[in-house]
Structure 1
Amino acid sequence: MAAIFLYPKIDKVIGSPNPYIFNFQKALAKNHHVVNAKSPNRGILSFFTHFFKADLFILNWPETIPEKKFGSVQKKLFMLFLKLAKAYSKKVVWILHNKGSHHKGENPVTKNMFDVLMAHSDYIITHSYAGKDFVSSAYPNYISKVHVIPHPLTEKLGEYRKGEKKFDFLIWGSIFPYKGIDVFLDYLRETPELKNTKVLIVGKCSDTKYKSKILSILPENAEFKDELLSLEEIAAYSVQAKFTLFTYKSQTVISSGSLIDSIRMGAIILGPDHGAFRDMKDLAFMHTFKNFNEIPKIISEFNPSDEQIEGDRNTFMNQNTWANFVEKIGNITGI
């Protein structure tokens, strides 16, 4: 049993957030002691209040620390933590979720955090070979630290059902510019082959400017519900859609929690040919495109009676449970 500090600590669920940390903590706690599991969230200060209790620190999204309140101060404290971790032989695992900042793009602050984390992490776990390729290209000196483990999944929320569908495409999740929904809507308006398709977009958009842009270009065959829904409510829409579409244009994306939940919902997925989407492109429930122009051909050739769809889904889910994820981290780190 290892003593593990898991970052970030989230105290409660509000609405429908990414449940990654909750699932991670639950899986770790089965065979290890998560030292900050029952402690209140103290942000960067928790690294120090739990420092001597933990042998292994598992960090998720630490590169975003400078973007938080009092970010410059938090960054300095984080740098101090990394120096102390090295001095006291504490092991640091960085879960590399993204290749940069989705929202801020390339910027020197995030680049500096990546530089620091590459150098000071003992192990780097990433959920897609795109993450490994990124390190190999941008930080080749640290490639030996990198290990690829697919994003783990919890239980199924549904299975694919062939038959008549109310919608051709479901796009769901929080609405941000990096997801490229506006680009797809422009394509939809200009493409005769898709003029009769029905599109449902479900997700909360807190960016009023971007929301106005989406509404201004929303074609008649597309519906936008600016709502924060539970996964069960989204799964009900998924059953009514032929495909769940991911329009991501950002190359910072390595994996996606929404992708993982869509697999759980029994969706047939259309996504960009990079990151975890590319890793899964040989599975019957996954179809990828290099650009939107490939979508009409993909949907015209889709066979809803393909028995391999649920076979591939079941195999993938059985191989990539949270228990297996923690076991693989244990094999890598020796905990």
Structure 2
Amino acid sequence: MNAVEKHIPIIFNPSENRENQYISILVQGMEEKGFEVSSLDDFLSSSSHFQSIRLVHLNWFENLDEGSNATMWKSFFRKISAVLLIKGGGKKLVWTMHNRLSHEKGSGKLSGILVKLLLKSVDTIVVHCSATEAILRGQKLNYSGEILNIPHPHFIGTYGPELKGSTGSSEVLKLLFLGAVKPYKNLELLIRVCREFGDAVQLTIAGKASSKDYADELHQLAEGNTSIQLELGFVEDRRIPELIGASDLLALPYDLRSSLNSGTVILAFSYARTVICPKIGTIDELGEQQGEVFTYSYISESEHEVKLREAIAGACEEKRQDPAALLEKGRKMKEYVRRENDPDIAIERLDRLYRKLLS
């Protein structure tokens, strides 16, 4: 950027997230491209700031605060008002569609209303996989506007250096679930299936639980089984390479009804681990590389249990036959995302999009 060129004020929301470095990667990249990034909370800080903002980019905006009915409705009306204010003020609006539906069951209908308003209001929708575009163009949403597909940025080195670990020297299959601990991620199912394998499988679940009640439920399910370790609190960045390095692969039994993209899948690949994961959009986007992951589809909850059990059994057998096989899959996936999910690709495409919309 020329030294005399002014920074372009935009809103990128959220502008920071201590639990997800996806945001910091993109915000830092856009700032290096010459954009001055603020959060939506700063939108009305002053009339001059409001007037200076010409573009707003929203992420996970359809998700509502479910702390109570009162906070959910307050969150809903606040977000409706924000969209109307953005458009009424003549601002360009970009929305990244991360998931098929809101993950939160209680606020699903209100979230759906927000999505419909966004579909009518946005100038461009950013997606991270072709499956999202297909849903947007489908009969249910029937969106006909502009869609920009950009690769989800990888996290190689973001949380510190990769730790090699020594999991290949053990016959025990070491599984890790990493991320926000919420009911839609089917962790009850994962615990139940892993218990069936006895000492042959060790499972660690690490992440902040959505509520004390849900944490208590998971502790009860894991009670008495020393092969299941629960670390249900905020995971500091420095611990992420350690947790991944101590695992053979990540087990992520997401709900196909709501999940489309997974940053945790990209995180696993970034630290040279493959995954067990249903065929969500992130997995489907891998093409021929799907042979390096343990993936499956299902229609019912009972079929999900069968397919998850088969995937874990398959990983156990592959490690038994070749102790280095799973780690080799992980190494291949790291090289894949290094090439295909370079953050510079996403940042460059967002830069072009923003400048086109503002021209």
Q: Structure 1-normalised TM-score?
A: 0.83
Match of 2:233 among 227, 231, 244: 227
Answering whether residue 169 of structure 2 is matched by residue 164 of structure 1, we say yes
Q: Matched residues in 1 for 2:187 and 2:92: separation? A: 40
1:9-41 CA distance string (max 9 Å, x none)? 34xx6xx5112222221000111222527xxx7
AA matched with 1:301: E
Gap regions ≥5 residues in structure 1: none
* 2:314 alignment partner in structure 1: 297
* Mapped contact 1:82–1:120 kept (Cα < 8 A): no
* 1:322 alignment partner in structure 2: 343
SS in structure 1 of the partner of residue 177 of structure 2: strand
SS in structure 2 of the partner of residue 171 of structure 1: strand
* Mapped contact 2:123–2:145 kept (Cα < 8 A): no
Alpha-carbon distance, 1:316 to partner: 1.9
AA matched with 1:117: L
AA matched with 1:31: K
**Residue-pair matches, total:** 323
Alpha-carbon distance, 1:176 to partner: 1.0
* Mapped contact 2:250–2:276 kept (Cα < 8 A): yes
* 2:44 alignment partner in structure 1: 45
Answering whether residue 295 of structure 2 is matched by residue 288 of structure 1, we say yes
Change (3 A) 1:287 1:332: farther
Q: Matched residues in 2 for 1:61 and 1:47: separation? A: 25
Change (3 A) 1:299 1:147: farther
SS in structure 1 of the partner of residue 294 of structure 2: strand
Q: Which moved more, 1:108-117 or 1:233-242?
A: 233-242
* 1:134 alignment partner in structure 2: 135
Q: Matched residues in 2 for 1:164 and 1:286: separation? A: 21
* 2:150 alignment partner in structure 1: 149
Change (3 A) 1:308 1:253: closer
Q: Matched residues in 2 for 1:152 and 1:48: separation? A: 34
Match of 2:281 among 270, 275, 278: 275
Q: Which moved more, 1:150-159 or 1:208-217?
A: 150-159
Alpha-carbon distance, 1:143 to partner: 4.4
Q: Matched residues in 2 for 1:159 and 1:278: separation? A: 28
Two-structure CA RMSD over aligned residues (Å): 3.0
Answering whether residue 98 of structure 2 is matched by residue 77 of structure 1, we say no
Change (3 A) 1:18 1:199: same
Answering whether residue 218 of structure 2 is matched by residue 217 of structure 1, we say no
Trace 1:54-203 onto structure 2 (pairs within 5 A).
54-64=53-63, 70-85=74-89, 88=90, 90-104=91-105, 107-139=108-140, 141-156=142-157, 157-158=161-162, 163-165=168-170, 168-189=174-195, 191=196, 196-203=200-207
Q: Matched residues in 1 for 2:37 and 2:328: separation? A: 45
Change (3 A) 1:138 1:182: farther
Alpha-carbon distance, 1:45 to partner: 3.3
* Mapped contact 1:55–1:91 kept (Cα < 8 A): yes
Change (3 A) 1:325 1:288: same
1:234-257 CA distance string (max 9 Å, x none)? 321222211111122252222223
AA matched with 2:169: E
Answering whether residue 334 of structure 2 is matched by residue 313 of structure 1, we say yes
Q: Matched residues in 2 for 1:54 and 1:98: separation? A: 27
Gap regions ≥5 residues in structure 2: 1-6, 298-306
